[in-house]
Structure 1
């Protein structure tokens, strides 16, 4: 047993091939044996039909009955039966009287003796066959009655073939059956060898237990990994893990390419950390080709990894607004230092009244904006964003106006968008407006207003704006680059704005009226 285990192949391909060889060998051997048995059975059946036909033909011949009735049966019929026997190759043809007395026989010395065998059915007028051991040995024989013109039975005809001859006939087919069996076995082994090579390539020579462990680990990793994973093939989607189904809101069961978002339906390997925006998520997507063991890439097959950046993107938006405010405060601190030096110098020069006027002029303007926003806007994050963007616009030489219509309910629970959503929508729209405004006359106008039924956010700028087709394309784009113009500049920002608006079943539209105007409307539900 130990030797058998040592000789037994370890790889899956080897074990599969050995089992196939054993099965093929058993099938070929069984097929050959069945073919031999079938040949023997067919030979016996053919022999019975042959002797039955010969016996019936001789018994029905009128000359046979006439020779028996004339008393010249041996003289006339012996040459005839021997000629027929020699021509057909059977063992004997015996014509006899109803009392078994032989008229003819292969061995002339047996003529006149009693026939050995069954004749009862023939005496009753029946033609039959049987296996019987006579003077020549075991044989298959047929017996038929001979009738005269009146129908009376005047004799019997027995024709037989030795079983030894039958055995010789079907044994002669052994070489052909053996040759066919060997040929089938050889062809099967060639096919098995080809299958073995293919299995070795596909399984890399791994043993069944190694493949099982690999599958178990693979399945466990797919279900536990925190990134979405999709394997795409030419025929469709080969694999989708649980996280990918969650991030892309895919249905349970098999997934088709039509079920995937538009940005995953086309073959596009080589993408790294590309940002895409769905209706409710911001996703980072990377795609790579699937390689063969030899290093060749599989055409049309690729692995897609997906990471969720939704919460991070919101945090980055809030952080960006705080950074803008921080930069603005730093700049104002620098300007305040310059202003303070100027005021001190004016006091030293004895011009105290001019120093007071200079010190309070800009402070009143800035404080007025702070006081107005603090009174009109209850959301502190939005106030910080507007103040920061106002300072940032001033540094860039852009006139940013926050209209007098800007007002939000005092109770933040009544707001139709959360503070983070407000920052996402308004921050991206203002950034896009400052990037797109006309540099010869740079201005941006912002309105944020909510009543009992509707929230309106409107951002206008002095730029050329976008037509409806370009605006729709910009909202669908899943990435952002500042190197281009037009829709590329608004790719991620407008996509994030559209995501928030769609989540609340609002509307987002662009018009070119007194400037390029983008309007967000969200109604109470």
Structure 2
């Protein structure tokens, strides 16, 4: 769904726009705060620098050679004024004033102020301690330092004041502020540019949607994700499970902490695990896992030409496969009946012709010979098998085998009474094994025969199916029960791909076991193994609590 379809007509701001505005506001606030802090710090630093420089100049002049000698003169001004002005110009201060302990000036940048009283506090310096202050004098507000001048006996004989006007400090501060504010403006521009780039990227990633739209999309997608009857898995390129909906968790029996873990750690069925780790495209592939038969589809997720992972859907087709198996059996039985009806019509024409020719005895013998053989098989099955579904299946398979030129022999030890196995499980087991055997025998050399034995005893249910086909090589015995294994591609008789895998699934579900091999030394007393070829034996144990009565469905 396009973002424009999701956005309401009110034109609400997208997430990217809101983030951009918020980031710009934050950046401006931070920039203003930083600039204010820098200005305050620069002002403090400028004042401190002025005080430090004034104190250093005053102290240096107070300690300069010849100062005491000049002070001892009757009029110190002619000797000190040139020295003070030279020092003022060299040090960059605005004034250097030498005065008596009473505050009478000996020097001043304005010669007219010499002899007048110094404007400011001098008491601390008179007591022998240097100090700094900001005071308004003849040159205006200034930052000044006043230090005492000691003689050889450590008596204060004069004071030296050096200062920098506040106007000069302000000019210096303004020059620094221009640089600081310029740097802040450049930083603000860079930050705004970076924010705009981030906003554009966010806009592309969110498709220009607003927070309400994203929330609504998430809620809808989450509801759909967990409401669908198909399992959904999302796996990244590192084979980590990113998402699994409720149905996928149920079908695969995933642990609660499955999300974020590698699929190799989730105990998945081998064929399904191979599909998830391969990343290949799959269309309605059938995989077996646990008790379920799954139809699996897989697609790659690609963005800007880069593969991000795979999306896999799982559809439970267990019941459908069971019903399909029963329908296949019924279809086969129907086709066999259709063929027999056609053959019966031919026989009927033959019988009518014989009657017209006056050969009534030959007509009776010809018409009842085939019927008697078929009735014998039907009577045997009805007497030996109490499960009508199984009896109908075997009768249908016998007719189907006959049409394919294969003799289906029901072993004499076949006896199923008070069955404890579900009818659809019997259809899966017997139907797939017999279908495989008919295919194998039909592809082999004459005599083409399939021998079936189904019986119950004190231990449980035993199903044996043997054929006269080529058998299964020992190297392929383990692979024969994997999903998709088939030797038909190589023109071999066995391996229906899914059929044997379904058989093994039913066997595992009932805690049974299955054996497969080749009859190499069958004796004449062994009626089942006499056929040779492949022999499949399924054993299902008797449950502690019997299942539904014969003919019933669970």
TM-score normalised per structure 2:
0.83
Shift of 1:479: 8.5
Cα separation, 2, equivalents of 1:227 and 1:135: 94
Shift of 1:137: 1.6
2:207 maps to 1:204:
yes
2:326 maps to 1:318:
yes
1:274-353 equivalences in 2 (<5 Å): 274-290=285-301, 292=303, 298-347=306-355, 349=357, 351-353=359-361
Cα separation, 2, equivalents of 1:362 and 1:121: 142
Q: Which runs of 5+ in 1 are unaligned?
A: 1-5
1:364-383 equivalences in 2 (<5 Å): 364-383=372-391
1:34-73 equivalences in 2 (<5 Å): 34-61=37-64, 63-69=66-72, 73=76
Asked if 2 retains the 8 angstrom alpha-carbon contact of 1:43 and 1:169, the reply is yes
1:382-401 equivalences in 2 (<5 Å): 382-401=390-409
| Cα distance, 1:110–1:322 mapped onto 2, change above 3 Å | same
Asked if 1 retains the 8 angstrom alpha-carbon contact of 2:407 and 2:449, the reply is yes
Asked if 2 retains the 8 angstrom alpha-carbon contact of 1:470 and 1:487, the reply is no
> Could you tell me which residue of structure 2 aligns to residue 518 of structure 1?
536
Shift of 1:306: 2.3
| Helix, strand or coil at the partner of 2:47 | helix
Cα separation, 1, equivalents of 2:74 and 2:275: 105
Per-residue CA deviations over 1:165-222 (Å, capped at 9, x if unaligned) read 1110010123323432332233334333433432343233334433333333222221
> Could you tell me which residue of structure 2 aligns to residue 13 of structure 1?
16
Cα separation, 1, equivalents of 2:84 and 2:484: 102
> Could you tell me which residue of structure 2 aligns to residue 107 of structure 1?
110
Per-residue CA deviations over 1:384-403 (Å, capped at 9, x if unaligned) read 11111111111111122222
2:418 maps to 1:411:
yes
| Helix, strand or coil at the partner of 2:283 | coil
Shift of 1:374: 2.4
| Helix, strand or coil at the partner of 1:320 | helix
Q: 1:241 aligns with which of 245, 255, 259?
A: 245
Cα separation, 2, equivalents of 1:411 and 1:521: 16
TM-score normalised per structure 1:
0.87
| Cα distance, 1:215–1:87 mapped onto 2, change above 3 Å | same
> Could you tell me which residue of structure 2 aligns to residue 273 of structure 1?
284
| Cα distance, 1:466–1:172 mapped onto 2, change above 3 Å | same
Shift of 1:92: 1.7
Asked if 2 retains the 8 angstrom alpha-carbon contact of 1:126 and 1:144, the reply is yes
1:171-190 equivalences in 2 (<5 Å): 171-190=174-193
| Cα distance, 1:70–1:267 mapped onto 2, change above 3 Å | farther
2:217 maps to 1:214:
yes
Shift of 1:246: 2.2
Cα separation, 1, equivalents of 2:297 and 2:151: 103
Per-residue CA deviations over 1:288-342 (Å, capped at 9, x if unaligned) read 34355xxx65424343222221111111111112222222233333333334444
Q: 1:477 aligns with which of 468, 480, 483?
A: 483
1:86-235 equivalences in 2 (<5 Å): 86-235=89-238
Most deviating of 424-433 and 268-277: 268-277
> Could you tell me which residue of structure 2 aligns to residue 262 of structure 1?
273
Shift of 1:136: 1.6
Per-residue CA deviations over 1:59-88 (Å, capped at 9, x if unaligned) read 344644454356664344333332222112
After superposition, the CA RMSD in angstroms is 3.1
| Helix, strand or coil at the partner of 2:412 | coil
| Cα distance, 1:177–1:330 mapped onto 2, change above 3 Å | same
| Helix, strand or coil at the partner of 1:265 | helix
> Could you tell me which residue of structure 2 aligns to residue 3 of structure 1?
none
Cα separation, 1, equivalents of 2:475 and 2:81: 112
Cα separation, 2, equivalents of 1:67 and 1:330: 144
Shift of 1:282: 1.3
| Helix, strand or coil at the partner of 1:365 | helix
2:500 maps to 1:494:
yes
2:439 maps to 1:428:
no
Cα separation, 2, equivalents of 1:170 and 1:469: 92
Asked if 1 retains the 8 angstrom alpha-carbon contact of 2:294 and 2:314, the reply is yes
Cα separation, 2, equivalents of 1:218 and 1:82: 85
| Helix, strand or coil at the partner of 1:452 | coil
Cα separation, 1, equivalents of 2:214 and 2:449: 66
Shift of 1:45: 1.7
Cα separation, 2, equivalents of 1:210 and 1:476: 47
Per-residue CA deviations over 1:6-63 (Å, capped at 9, x if unaligned) read 9997333334333333433333343333333322222112112212222233334464
Asked if 1 retains the 8 angstrom alpha-carbon contact of 2:445 and 2:469, the reply is no
> Could you tell me which residue of structure 1 aligns to residue 547 of structure 2?
none
Cα separation, 2, equivalents of 1:427 and 1:31: 83
How many residue pairs are counted as aligned between the two chains? Answer: 513
Asked if 2 retains the 8 angstrom alpha-carbon contact of 1:92 and 1:160, the reply is yes
Cα separation, 2, equivalents of 1:105 and 1:7: 76
| Helix, strand or coil at the partner of 1:246 | helix
| Helix, strand or coil at the partner of 1:172 | helix
Asked if 2 retains the 8 angstrom alpha-carbon contact of 1:428 and 1:493, the reply is yes
Most deviating of 94-103 and 384-393: 94-103
| Helix, strand or coil at the partner of 1:455 | strand
Per-residue CA deviations over 1:319-373 (Å, capped at 9, x if unaligned) read 1122222222333333333344444544555555544444444333323322322
Most deviating of 180-189 and 163-172: 180-189
Most deviating of 260-269 and 443-452: 260-269
| Helix, strand or coil at the partner of 2:497 | helix
| Cα distance, 1:103–1:59 mapped onto 2, change above 3 Å | same
